[in-house]
């Protein structure tokens, strides 16, 4: 158990809908990262937040957005869902005092868009 929690574990929805994925980082970690893992694209970095502020952006679509709240939990919002958005979405966190900047991953949310 990495200490990173993600909810829900599974999500099934229809095209055109909007969903919110939630992540709670390890206690003390200030950075939260979001990744998308699909069979054909591998592990894609989406976005990073540090202490509430956006720190880095990867291959995140305009239909997707994220935020990190004052209690450091983060939410990833996916809207106008398409079949191709079906994937595993991982959240990871890292500690500001860790010079190795190791990321600790949550168990993921499996999104299925029908």
Partner 1 sequence: GEDVEQSLFLSVREGDSSVINCTYTDSSSTYLYWYKQEPGAGLQLLTYIFSNMDMKQDQRLTVLLNKKDKHLSLRIADTQTGDSAIYFCAERALKTIFGAGTRLFVKA
Our finding on whether 45 is near partner 1 (CB under 8 A) is yes
In the list 42, 53, 71, 97, the residue contacting partner 1 (rule: CB under 8 A) is: 42
Helical H segments across the chain, by residue range: none
- Is 43 one of the binding residues for partner 1 (CB under 8 A)? yes
Q: Mark residue 15 as left, alpha or beta (left: phi above 0; alpha: psi -120 to 50; beta: remaining).
A: beta
Pick from 113, 16, 110: nearest CA to 63:
16
Query: What's the closest the beta carbon of residue 16 comes to partner 1, in angstroms?
Result: 28
Tokens of 106: 């949550």
Between residues 44 and 79, which has the closer beta carbon with respect to partner 1? Answer: 44
Question: Which parts of this chain interact with partner 1 (CB under 8 A)?
Answer: 2, 4, 35, 42-43, 45, 48, 56, 90, 92, 100-108
């Amino acid at each position: 158990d990495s200490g990173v929690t993600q909810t829900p574990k599974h999500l099934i929805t229809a095209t055109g809908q909007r969903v919110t994925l939630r992540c709670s980082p390890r206690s003390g970690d200030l950075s939260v990262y979001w990744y998308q893992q699909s069979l054909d694209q591998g592990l894609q970095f989406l976005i990073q937040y540090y202490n509430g502020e956006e720190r880095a952006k990867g291959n995140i679509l305009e239909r997707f957005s994220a935020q990190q709240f004052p209690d450091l939990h983060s939410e990833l919002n996916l809207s106008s869902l398409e079949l191709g958005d079906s994937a595993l979405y991982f959240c990871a966190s890292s500690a500001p005092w860790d010079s190795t900047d190791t990321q600790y991953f949550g168990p993921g949310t499996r999104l299925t868009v029908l």
